[in-house]
Amino acid sequence: MENGQPGRIWHTTVDKSGRVLLPAELRQLMRATPGTELIWMRSDDGVKLQAFADVLTSVQQYFQGLSPADESWSDELLRERRDEPSRE
């Protein structure tokens, strides 16, 4: 099976300090270098490991998909704030 394809398995051990060494192949696949923040997420399917930057990117894309394409949320907020005095 190729790198990164579903079903690939890596084996590692937790040391007595609770640390886990990520295999080099997995670090390369995740583009993890020293200092890379990793996120462990629990789901119904088990535990998932992702780089924080990848999680942040997917969250940003999710919220960008919720906003209207022709206007940013910050512009909408500013317009609402400017309109508040006239409503009072």
Q: How far apart are CA 21 and CA 56, in angstroms?
A: 23
Whole-number Cα distances in Å, 63 to 37, 73, 77: 22, 10, 15
Express each pLDDT in 7-50 by its tens digit.
788 999 999 999 999 999 999 998 999 999 999 999 898 998 99
Question: Higher confidence at residue 75 or residue 56?
Answer: 56
Residue 17 CB neighbours (<10 A): 5
Say yes or no to pLDDT of 1 above 50.
Answer: no
Provide the token pair at 62.
């999710």
Do the Cβ atoms of 39 and 55 come closer than 8 Å? yes
Express each pLDDT in 47-60 by its tens digit.
989 999 999 999 98
**What's this model's pTM, rounded to 2 decimal places?**
0.58
